[in-house]
Structure 1
Amino acid sequence: MATFAAFSNTDILQDLRSRVSASAVVTDPAELKKYSYSENMTGEGAGLALAIVEAQNTADIQGALATARKYHIPIVPQSAHTSTVIVADGIPGSIILSTITMNHILEISKADSLAVVEPGVINGDLDQAARKQGMFYAPDPGSKLISSIGGNVSTNAGGMSTVRYGATKDNILGLKVVLADGREIKVGGRTLKQAFGYDLTQLFIGSEGTLGIVVEITVKLLPIPLGTPVMGMAFFPTMTQLAEAVAAIRISGIGPTMLEALDGNTVAALDTYRHTHYADNNESMLIFRIDSSTAETEALLEKMLTTHQGTHISVTTDPQAQADLQQMRRDMLPAVFAGQNHIMEDMALPLSQLAPMMDYIAELGAQLGLKIYTAGHAGDGNVHPTLVWPADEKDVPPKIVEALQAMFHKTLALGGTISGEHAVGMIKNQWNNAELGPDVDYLQHQIKALFDPMNILNPKRKIN
């Protein structure tokens, strides 16, 4: 039976251009492809957006939403486009609403210990600006130098310092959000304590652009700690023993800022990438940091490391050496990914279950004949196993899928979550019922329907 369209793409684009800044609408096919796909996440045949709106201000966002409502078109919020779980890739025929040019630091208030920023501000740029005033922005995801604060809010990004300072949600005071119907609302504020009304600020954090478009963010800033920061590394025979050492350090009162774990496979990959020789130890590596160290804390740390079979312990207070250690941790991803297909996962466990999970991953890899690179933010129980297969194999091998499903089920059985800091996107949106249970799963859909009754905001991301 024939169908007759009520409008054309030309009609949509004409309406869109009438509602936003003159130069905001991009329809060049090369640009559409660039912003519609992320590497290794989507295929060539699906996901090409109809247009990109490079929003200059809130009015552009409201205009794009008006067109989307009129024509029932999906809106895909996007900023720096660094997501690994298909949160911000294009949907066929959608409008990608980019906030990357809304990148101004509007205020840094040392007196109030906060900053006000637009969503396109890069995490590392905010941190550097704050440090010039004796403050710093604590959350530091591995993508710190390239990911935006807006994207960090959308996914509730974590990072290396979460063990001490918390994830993004623990460092946000307030938001301005444009809802699907075009209204701009303000939630939260500038105070460190807030108890009035329902906590809508936390509802929007981690919502992956499915409930509204964040246009302004008020973040906490912290004073740069006094004293001499200390960084170092230690090696352990297995990741399980490393995890046991981390558990002891975590509750010791030392107050570590970083406890990063890398298994032997990952260390060997880093050696190849950086031309080092750490893998000669044939062991797992722990990278640690204490922001305010004393002789007492250093002595206690060394005792705990050695008690749990830690060897080749080295400590440095040299800023350049510390920067190199941090960069080595950030180099983990390109080192492991180089020359092969990969999927890096993101589970978080109760601290007491981290060691059993490390055992399970090693056993699973041996059982299925897979090489698994396991690393993560051990101090907060966040594990990132990376599964790889040859670059010339286009499809994901069945054993990889089997291993991922097994790890997810094991994580849930141990009381953990299958998304610690990378969000859900379209990679894990079918697991809501398994992790949350049917009642909470249903409630999630009710919340979505309340905020976005036409289902135009990032549909099928976060929840399916």
Structure 2
Amino acid sequence: MAVFSAYNHDQLIEFLKENAPHAEIHVDDDVSAQHSANGKAQDTISGQILAYVAVGDVDDIRGVLKTAQKFHIAVVPQTADTSTVVGADGIDGAIILSVAKLNHIKEINKDDSLAVVEPGVINQDLDKAARKQGMFYAPDPASKPISAIGGNVSTNAGGLSGVRYGATKDSVLGLKVMLTNGQELKLGGRTFKQAFGYDLTQLFVGSEGTLGIITEVTVKLFPIPVGQTITGIAFFDDMAKLAEGVKAIRNSGLYPSMLEALDGKTVKALDQYEKTDYAQSDQSSLLIFSMDSGSDLKLKTVQKILADYGAWHVNITDDPQEAAKLIQLRRDMLPAVFSNSKYHIMEDMAVPLSKLAEMVAYIDQVGKDLDVDIYTAGHAGDGNLHPTLLWNDQSNPPEKVIEAVRRLFRKTLAFGGTISGEHAVGMSKNQWTNEELGDAVDVLQHQIKNLFDPMGILNPKRKIN
């Protein structure tokens, strides 16, 4: 069948260049390939993107959206390109709109306890800048050194500090967002309390680039706590006993800032990766914990809880360098686990705290029943688990791995949990919207999408299908 297109490829690119004059535009080259498949040039997407566009300013964003609207082209927003759920990979014929070059910290205001940043600012860079003024930025994804604030906001990223400070949404005060028609909205503001109008700020947090392009973020900062931070590790016979110990620490009034769990297989992988000797058995599990400011009473309280719940090989320190080494164990968890196989899927579900021990036991049983290699770690303090499923024989997940994920998802939902605690939905889970949210809410989600993006050009098939 003949298709008579109105414009050829060169005309599209020429219009794009005219309307985004300060952007760096890459067409069919190594740069465009590198950013098409989650930063992995060796992987490929289905088809080929039209262009990778690293915008230089807000007007460039407006120009990209104008081009997309005129020619009905999909737009995939990117910041640091670290999505784990196929949320920022290229789409055939689409424009990748990168805001990575919009990476300026516009303001750090100690008196107002806030910072104003462009979306490309790296999480860790903001935190370091804030600490120079006696403040800190609380959200701490394990990807803190490489992930950007814009992506963190778009996915509502969680992380290591979630047990005390919540997810990214709990630190977002305001946003500037550009809609597909080129209009830039100012949402929220600079106050910690806001009750006027519908909360559109939080609607855009976690929207995964499907409603608009984030151009500026105002975030909450906290003063650095007085006193020495207490950091420690403790081992338990298994993850179920660790989960019970975590529940006791949470309910103790200690207000920990970190409660991270690693199962025995993950600890063994870390030992191989780090050349350490922590693992005692395949079942013994590791808890890494921290409290922002220590005292003798806090120290004695956490020691008693750990003893009451059967912890052993307990090591607690207030030395910053020693603490950094212990926390690095958690940050190195993923590369350590990934080194044990050629292919992997890292999942992300969260259950009510009372169901954590049961969920951990269920994950272990699914691995045994289906003969799937599963390593489990996660943010135990807020019920967020990351079972990682490994295999070697083919690039696509074998059927037993897919079935294992289905079982984990359905058990999570049966427990009243969510199958996306902090990694977002992307394309990996967009077929589960009605199962988690229900049919009526599924329809409402699409109506909201249509209101903000009537032509369906922003990150299509991500978040909702």
1:376-387 alignment to 2 at 5 Å? 376-387=378-389
Distance in 2 between the 1:40 and 1:300 partners? Answer: 47
**CA contact under 8 A between 2:45 and 2:91: conserved in structure 1?**
no
Distance in 1 between the 2:400 and 2:443 partners? Answer: 32
Segment of structure 1 superposing worse, 427-436 or 300-309: 300-309
Report the AA paired with residue 18 of structure 2. Answer: S
Query: Residue 279 of structure 2: SS of its match in structure 1?
Result: helix
Distance in 1 between the 2:43 and 2:411 partners? Answer: 30
Q: CA deviation at 1:343?
A: 0.5
Match of 2:91 in 1: 91
Q: CA deviation at 1:24?
A: 2.4
Q: CA deviation at 1:192?
A: 0.6
Segment of structure 1 superposing worse, 278-287 or 34-43: 34-43
Report the AA paired with residue 50 of structure 1. Answer: L
Distance in 2 between the 1:234 and 1:4 partners? Answer: 67
Q: Identity of paired residues, percent? A: 60
Distance in 2 between the 1:332 and 1:250 partners? Answer: 23
Report the AA paired with residue 78 of structure 1. Answer: Q
Q: CA deviation at 1:47?
A: 4.7
Distance in 2 between the 1:248 and 1:103 partners? Answer: 41
**CA contact under 8 A between 1:178 and 1:184: conserved in structure 2?**
yes
Match of 2:464 in 1: 463
Match of 2:195 in 1: 195
1:237 and 1:39, CA in 2 relative to 1: closer, same or farther beyond 3 A? farther
**CA contact under 8 A between 2:212 and 2:458: conserved in structure 1?**
yes
1:24-103 alignment to 2 at 5 Å? 24-38=24-38, 44=44, 46-103=46-103
Match of 1:14 in 2: 14
1:40 and 1:429, CA in 2 relative to 1: closer, same or farther beyond 3 A? farther
Question: Residues 376-419 of structure 1: CA distance to partner in whole angstroms, max 9, x if unpaired?
Answer: 000000000000011x4223111100100000000000000000
1:78-157 alignment to 2 at 5 Å? 78-157=78-157
Question: Residues 255-288 of structure 1: CA distance to partner in whole angstroms, max 9, x if unpaired?
Answer: 0000000000000000000000001355100000
Query: Residue 459 of structure 2: SS of its match in structure 1?
Result: coil
Segment of structure 1 superposing worse, 279-288 or 114-123: 279-288
Q: CA deviation at 1:180?
A: 1.0
Which of 367, 370, 392 lines up with 2:369 in the alignment? 367
Distance in 2 between the 1:419 and 1:279 partners? Answer: 29
Distance in 2 between the 1:28 and 1:364 partners? Answer: 43
Match of 2:317 in 1: 316
1:441 and 2:442 are equivalent in the alignment: yes
Report the AA paired with residue 190 of structure 1. Answer: R
**CA contact under 8 A between 1:235 and 1:281: conserved in structure 2?**
no
Q: CA deviation at 1:10?
A: 1.0
Distance in 1 between the 2:156 and 2:174 partners? Answer: 14
1:45 and 1:99, CA in 2 relative to 1: closer, same or farther beyond 3 A? closer
Distance in 1 between the 2:309 and 2:399 partners? Answer: 37
1:42 and 1:414, CA in 2 relative to 1: closer, same or farther beyond 3 A? farther
Query: Residue 164 of structure 2: SS of its match in structure 1?
Result: helix
Query: Residue 420 of structure 1: SS of its match in structure 2?
Result: coil
Distance in 2 between the 1:339 and 1:380 partners? Answer: 27
**CA contact under 8 A between 1:26 and 1:52: conserved in structure 2?**
yes
Q: CA deviation at 1:23?
A: 4.8
**CA contact under 8 A between 1:239 and 1:284: conserved in structure 2?**
yes
1:35-434 alignment to 2 at 5 Å? 35-38=35-38, 44=44, 46-280=46-280, 282=282, 283-340=284-341, 341-390=343-392, 392-434=393-435
Query: Residue 225 of structure 1: SS of its match in structure 2?
Result: coil
Query: Residue 91 of structure 1: SS of its match in structure 2?
Result: coil
Segment of structure 1 superposing worse, 323-332 or 447-456: 323-332
Distance in 2 between the 1:243 and 1:287 partners? Answer: 12
Distance in 2 between the 1:47 and 1:414 partners? Answer: 39
Distance in 2 between the 1:250 and 1:47 partners? Answer: 49
1:39 and 1:263, CA in 2 relative to 1: closer, same or farther beyond 3 A? farther
Distance in 2 between the 1:2 and 1:395 partners? Answer: 35
**CA contact under 8 A between 2:259 and 2:289: conserved in structure 1?**
yes
Distance in 2 between the 1:195 and 1:102 partners? Answer: 30
Uncovered stretches (5+) of structure 2, i.e. residues with no partner: none
Question: Residues 129-173 of structure 1: CA distance to partner in whole angstroms, max 9, x if unpaired?
Answer: 000000000000010000000000000000000000111000000
Query: Residue 280 of structure 1: SS of its match in structure 2?
Result: coil
Report the AA paired with residue 335 of structure 2. Answer: P
Query: Residue 177 of structure 2: SS of its match in structure 1?
Result: strand
1:45 and 1:446, CA in 2 relative to 1: closer, same or farther beyond 3 A? closer
Query: Residue 430 of structure 1: SS of its match in structure 2?
Result: coil
- TM-score scaled to structure 2, two decimals? 0.98
Distance in 1 between the 2:445 and 2:324 partners? Answer: 42
Distance in 1 between the 2:40 and 2:348 partners? Answer: 16
Q: CA deviation at 1:299?
A: 1.1
Segment of structure 1 superposing worse, 194-203 or 19-28: 19-28
Distance in 2 between the 1:40 and 1:359 partners? Answer: 34
